[in-house]
Amino acid sequence: MSGTELDARLATLSDTKRALLERLMKAKGEAAGPVPIQVMPRAVRRVIEPATAAQERVFRLCQQNWNDPVANVSFALRLRGKLDRAAFVKSMHELVERHEVLRTVFREEDGRLHQLIRSAAKSRFEVRWEDVQELPPDEQEQCILEWAEQEALQPFDLGADSLFRVKVVSVDEQEHIWYLTLHHIVFDGWSIGVLLEELAQLYRAFTAGQPSPLPPLVLQFADYAAWQEKWRKSGHRTKVLEEWKQTFRDVPSLGQPVYGYSRSSLEIALDSGLTERIRKYSQEQHSTIYMTLLSAYVVALTRLTDQPEVVIGTPVAGRTHKEFERLIGMFVNIAPMRIQAEMKVSGEMLQKVRLLTAQAFARQDLPIDDLLADLADDLPSGEPPLYPYLFVLQNAPASNESFVGLELSVVRRKNVTQVLPVQEFYSTPGAAKVNLSLVLSERASGIAGLVEYNREVLDESAAQRFAALFEEVLRSL
């Protein structure tokens, strides 16, 4: 069995079957298990720990965009009900105490980026309060929207600031606006669910005068960083890197590179009827919505560009060990997929995409930065990025917890539709830019999202044509 086939098989097995297969392989002398996780005892924890490859990428991006909130993750929530201020503040501080990454800053030493873990007392974290109760309703709403934009667009100093900002605005006794802003270097989409779930549990306990109900964390993000550093020096990395290189060997030219970047976007929305059709088709084909939408993306790109194949990057959670699932932090990685062009979605195409997805996800421990650095020597000078397209389906687990006595809803912001530009963030600093990204999420009303495009490559009419082609492909399922 080849390494690629093995990783694809391991990715689709249950935990029990995977463990049995690995034991059988070890008995044959073919052990392919991952690098084990080692928990650093708190007594020997260093104040300064190495940063991860993804954190290094984000840091370099921010250096290129000084005072630009390119990597801010910000959202605003409306809280309706009686807010227990003391319990709310205590919950926030307990979360910062619990997750070291929320009190971490960054510094360079000897050409390497490091995490500096501060104590909770020195983290500079605070809950800021504002009051608009004396203002007329229209002025209140104007202030709420202006503050939402200010919070989202205010940059962080990665070497000094708390990278977790919280602000609460009192509208009246029964309504508050809660602004949360974090830097992507310490936070990813998966972390949103973890943060909200733990805060809800803490708030429920503290309002009742009870201690924290959360079990102690066995691992911290620094343990993951140490594990990744060890993995990147292991033979497993060498094997996975070689598999990726085989996949992209002799990849055809993808066109002229574009180093300029001017972002534009347009909204895309699939109605509930079409969304239900996509779900039903996926079930009939023993596929997932992700694979069906990705296949439709490939077909739409094929019709738009007439390219014989496309290379698409897609974010992956990077949490390949169960121990990482309950941590807040920047784990996300990019998995590139080389997919042959097709003119329509079919069962045969879905089977190919299913295998490519399994292969890519099984190799996600290799930082995309390592792959790009290694392939750079093999690609002709001036080639465009390995993946000129991006596909994102935001399906990180959401919190099922509720804040006792409070109803939460999202504050819709007019000028801050997406604080984190997907194309910009998932391009390697200094490299050619991604041409087009499709960012989708499942909502109660149907699948919706954004088409982001680089105006240096595509104009608005081309982006609109792509959006129309994408919907046309899906309606033909």
Tokens (6 digits) for 141: 């709403």
The β-bridge partners of 265 are 452
In the chain (477 residues long), the average pLDDT of successive 10-residue segments reads: 44 46 41 55 65 91 75 90 97 97 93 91 93 93 91 91 95 95 92 93 97 94 91 91 87 55 82 95 94 96 90 89 91 91 92 92 90 72 67 71 88 51 41 75 85 86 95 96
Taking Cα atoms as reference points, which of 467, 451, 443 lies closest to residue 390? 451
Tokens (6 digits) for 264: 């534009």
pLDDT at 443: 77
Is the domain 233-397+413-475 a CATH 3.40.50.2300 member? Answer: no
pLDDT at 385: 60
pLDDT at 35: 67
pLDDT at 261: 58
Q: What is the largest CA-CA distance in the chain?
A: 75
Cβ–Cβ < 8 Å for 177, 169: yes
Just give the CATH number of 42-221.
3.30.559.10
pLDDT at 260: 53
Look at residue 94 and give its three-state secondary structure.
helix
- With the C-alpha atoms ordered 208, 212, 215, 221, is the resulting torsion angle positive or negative? positive
CA separation for the pair 177, 203 (Å, rounded): 16
- Provide the whole-model pTM: 0.83
pLDDT at 149: 87
Domain residue spans of the chain: 42-221, 233-397+413-475
pLDDT at 6: 44
CA separation for the pair 403, 199 (Å, rounded): 8
CA separation for the pair 17, 112 (Å, rounded): 40
Q: Angle at CA 461, nearest 5°, toward 460 and 464?
A: 85
Alpha helices in 106-188 (DSSP H): 137-153
Domains 42-221 and 233-397+413-475 share a fold: yes
List, as one string, the DSSP characters of 335-367: EEEEEE--SS--HHHHHHHHHHHHHHHHTTTS-
The DSSP letter of residue 323 is: G
